[in-house]
Structure 1
Amino acid sequence: MAATLCQVMGFILSLLGVAGIIAATGMDQWATEDLFDNPVTAVYSYSGLWNSCVRQSSGFTECRPYFTILGLPALLQAVRALMIVGIVLGAIGGLIAIFSLKCLKMGNMEDNIKATMTLTAGIMFLLGGVCGIAGVSAFANLIVQSFRFTTYADGGFSMMGGGGIGGLSGSLTPRYTFGPALFVGWIGGAVLVIGGVMMCLACRGMSSDAKQRYDGMAYKASSHHTIYRTDPKPRPAFNDSYRAHSADGRMSNQKFDYV
């Protein structure tokens, strides 16, 4: 019962973690403009893995996708790859985990096979969560470097390597800080890792149950009781010729031993 509950909880947490990584990958607010001491308040810019957006004070928002791949920094492409790999591993692990649930009966599937599938799904969830956390952390490191070396007095350091995001460049290059997508990615990756650990623990409980329920013939040692067998040798026929005869000719039950 404990193994089944741990497996179901790990499966639900893993699905939530995969959903969090997918949501973080699709969000555009990975890096948001730092509004602290910002002389320009009419324009607010933010960017993600796929688009860079500008929102004006009137409420109009314009997003421009990154049309090139070769012109982007290598670290941004690595973050994209890590997030995609994390999503793929989480999706494959989810499919395997569905068929490995102990509460679902799939034909004549044995418990040891389900335990192996649960372990495989748990390892994939772990790897997917690690990839998601690594991708978000790498992008956060890029934001930290951009924030430290970019000022409003000079063009300085552009986060995406070049003319700045959001259409601002020169002496008014904005500084970027952590966006909501980073926190969604961190939480999703952590939940996915926890779900993977719970799936691995559930596999251990399922394998022990499978060993205890091993269906086989029990060996019973032979007892040391004495076994009596009948003598196969034929017994001689009883000869009553030696019986004593009475006076009237009848046989008596008296026996005589002859030497």
Structure 2
Amino acid sequence: MASTSAEIIAFLLTISGWVLVSSTLPTDYWKVSTIDGTVITTATFWANLWKTCVTDSTGVSNCKDFPSMLALDGYIQACRGLMISAVCLGFFGAVFGLVGMKCTKVGGSDQTKAKIACLAGLIFILSGLCSMTSCSLYANRITSEFFDPSFVAQKYELGAALFIGWAGASLCIIGGIIFCFSIAENSNSARRGYAYNGATSVMSSRTKVHNSVPDKTPPKHFDKNAYV
């Protein structure tokens, strides 16, 4: 029962993390910068993995898509690949996790389901690492440009999408670890269930054989002068 509860908790954590990672990919505010006037914010510059935009004080946004994938900076291409890999791995991890859980009726024997669930945990851990690496790489580029005194172009700050991506990656990694630990607990309990009882079996068999052999000692006959 404890392992089943752990698997359910791990599945909920990983699915929640995968949803957050998937929502991070199209989110607008990966990096943001503002230009303040005397009273209100006059313009907000923001960008993500696909486009860069500016929003004025009236709420009107003007966006420009990145013209060519080959002309992009290397870190944006790497972040795109890592985030897409994280989403795809999370999908396959969810399928394997659903099949490998003990509370489901598919997947075969308990040993096969345990292997599938362990594979799902490893896939979710890899998905979380991909998302964590992508967000950290993007954030490192923002902070390095922000604190570089020789950088004269527009400086940005960390956007909300990065924090969502970090949270989703953490949930995926934690849920995947719980999946792996629950499978290890099941294997240990299975080994304890087959404890060796050889000594008891030998003693019981010897007792049975001794009781089954008839007593061949000849009976004693006493004559009439035995008590004289």
- The TM-score range, normalised by the shorter chain, is 0.7 to 0.9
Q: Secondary structure at the match of 2:206?
A: coil
1:1-259 mapped onto 2 (5 Å cutoff): 1-35=1-35, 41-106=41-106, 109-149=108-148, 156-157=151-152, 173-211=153-191, 220-221=201-202, 222-224=205-207, 225=210, 227-228=212-213
Percent identity over paired residues:
30
Letter in 2 for 1:103: C
Equivalent residue pairs, number? 207
C-alpha distance in structure 2 between counterparts of 1:5 and 1:226, whole Å? 50
Asked if the contact 2:34–2:43 (Cα under 8 Å) also holds between the matched residues in 1, the reply is no
Q: Secondary structure at the match of 2:69?
A: coil
How far does residue 63 in structure 1 lie from its aligned partner after superposition? 2.2
Letter in 2 for 1:61: S
How far does residue 66 in structure 1 lie from its aligned partner after superposition? 1.3
C-alpha distance in structure 1 between counterparts of 2:8 and 2:212, whole Å? 57
Q: Secondary structure at the match of 2:8?
A: helix
TM-score, with length taken from structure 1: 0.72
User: Gaps (5+ residues) in structure 1?
Assistant: 158-172, 232-259
Asked if the contact 1:6–1:202 (Cα under 8 Å) also holds between the matched residues in 2, the reply is yes
Letter in 1 for 2:76: L
Letter in 2 for 1:78: A
How far does residue 20 in structure 1 lie from its aligned partner after superposition? 0.8
Q: Quick one: structure 1 residues 137 and 223, their matched pair in 2 at CA, closer, same or farther if it must change by over 3 Å?
A: same
Asked if the contact 1:7–1:202 (Cα under 8 Å) also holds between the matched residues in 2, the reply is yes
Aligned-residue CA RMSD (Å): 2.6
Q: 1:147-196: CA deviations, max 9, x gaps? A: 12368xxxx45xxxxxxxxxxxxxxx432000000100011101111111
* Higher gyration radius (CA): 1
Letter in 2 for 1:223: R
C-alpha distance in structure 1 between counterparts of 2:149 and 2:30, whole Å? 18
C-alpha distance in structure 2 between counterparts of 1:34 and 1:150, whole Å? 19
Q: 1:34-65: CA deviations, max 9, x gaps? A: 45799x94221100001111111121112222
More helix by share: 2
Asked if the contact 1:130–1:193 (Cα under 8 Å) also holds between the matched residues in 2, the reply is yes
C-alpha distance in structure 2 between counterparts of 1:28 and 1:150, whole Å? 27
